[in-house]
Amino acid sequence: METRRFSFLTETLMSHPNPMVHVIDHPLVQHKLTLMRNKEASTTSFRRLLNELSSLMVYEVTRDMAMQEVQIETPLETMTAKMIDGKKLVFVSILRAGNGILDGMLNVIPGARVGHIGLYRDPATLQAVEYYFKMPQEMTERDVVVVDPMLATGNSAIAAVQRLKVLKPKSIKFVCLLTCPEGIATFTAAHPDVPVFTAAIDRQLNDHGYILPGLGDAGDRMFGTK
């Protein structure tokens, strides 16, 4: 394997010209992403790495969560300490590949609520077609994190966020593993108010809607369906 040395900045989030786009540049995230990209990675490794990587990414995604102060008793005395405020967060998985990210995030925030959106890409038009939509109650009081490993054409992500906005949640964030300039441009044009968190922005989208160099079909690699 060819190696090059990088000196990492102390910042965790690499800056992007669009302040709504956050590239999570942590060495652990980048290392695991590289292992996942390798075509030799087995289904087991791919799934495990996606799970680990998502657990790491959720720290950055939830960095600005509202906190409240509560009084508690330690074994020695009373103290005022911080806890997360408000109703439980909702992770919304875009089926089916979103479930890989979902599992990793739930490892860190097991009490989060979960919504699912079933969307498939029409192979001819590459447009998103909805076949399933199920959300928790009281969405107006919740912060939402939408997850899908690949922000490629942007069509599924745009459709999912459009559908969620109807429910008027407190906030919406979008998390993916990989995206490309085309995906970012289309998504941020449709939803300029929704921050995007990603581990990398790759070179380009190909004519079949795949990200290059990418990691192939995330769903197939995660579930071993090809």
Interface ranges with ligand URA (CB under 6 A): 97, 150, 152, 209-211, 214, 217-219
Instruction: Assess contact for 217 and 184: CB atoms under 8 A.
Output: no
The Cα diameter of the chain in Å comes to 66
Shortest Cβ 208–ligand URA spacing (Å): 8
Shortest Cβ 199–ligand URA spacing (Å): 14
Between residues 144 and 218, which has the closer beta carbon with respect to ligand URA?
Answer: 218
Distance from C-alpha of 64 to C-alpha of 186, rounded to nearest angstrom: 25
Between residues 155 and 188, which has the closer beta carbon with respect to ligand URA?
Answer: 155
Shortest Cβ 37–ligand URA spacing (Å): 11
Between residues 58 and 94, which has the closer beta carbon with respect to ligand URA?
Answer: 94
Q: Count CB neighbours of 206 within 10 A.
A: 12
Shortest Cβ 165–ligand URA spacing (Å): 23
Got the DSSP string for 80-138?
Answer: EEEEE-SSPPEEEEEETTHHHHHHHHHHH-TT-EEEEEEEEE-TTT--EEEEEEE--S-
User: 3-state SS string over 159-198?
Assistant: HHHHHHHCCCCCEEEEECCEECHHHHHHHHHHCCCCCEEE
Shortest Cβ 186–ligand URA spacing (Å): 13
Shortest Cβ 154–ligand URA spacing (Å): 10
With 0-12 CB in 10 A as exposed, 13-18 as middle and 19+ as buried, what is 208?
exposed
Between residues 133 and 210, which has the closer beta carbon with respect to ligand URA?
Answer: 210
Between residues 109 and 152, which has the closer beta carbon with respect to ligand URA?
Answer: 152
The torsion region of residue 200 among left (phi > 0), alpha (psi -120 to 50) and beta comes to: beta
Q: Which of 92, 83, 55, 87 is nearest to 173 (CA)?
A: 92
Q: Which helix (H) or strand (E) holds 79?
A: strand 78-84
Between residues 169 and 214, which has the closer beta carbon with respect to ligand URA?
Answer: 214
Between residues 70 and 185, which has the closer beta carbon with respect to ligand URA?
Answer: 185
Shortest Cβ 30–ligand URA spacing (Å): 18
